[in-house]
Amino acid sequence: MLITTNALGNAQDFSIVEPASCSIVQDTAETLFQLRQGGFDLGEADINQTELTAHEVLLLTDMIEDIKKIPVYQLKQLKDQALQNFIQKWNKTCEARHLEGQNKI
């Protein structure tokens, strides 16, 4: 499976509250979660690195490793809560990494 997205790498303006590279995290997290819950083997995922920045590649790689640790839920309520937790975690992680990167400049 090839994972790529143009939405991650297009925006250059970081003056908005949410970092541009983090704006797609919710959709990406939800997609990875649904793939995991559907039984797809994300260990076979191939990230198209030419479409993404180094920050985005690292973030996506880490998200994939993290989603592999989440069990497949049978109950909708547990699945929904786990999805929201996963999205929130990765939104916070993306924003924190973005701020760390800005502090290095």
Burial pattern 31-47, b for ≥16 Cβ within 10 A else e, equals ebbebbbeeeeeeebeb
Looking at residue 61, its pLDDT comes to 92
For 48-84, write each residue's pLDDT tens digit: 888 888 888 888 999 999 999 999 999 999 999 999 9
The residue count for the chain: 105
Say which residue the tokens 């929201």 belong to: 84
DSSP 71: P
Looking at residue 57, its pLDDT comes to 86
Burial class (CB in 10 A: 0-12, 13-18, 19+), 52: buried
What's the predicted TM-score (pTM) here? 0.73
Question: Closest Cα partner for 51 from 19, 28, 75, 80?
Answer: 28
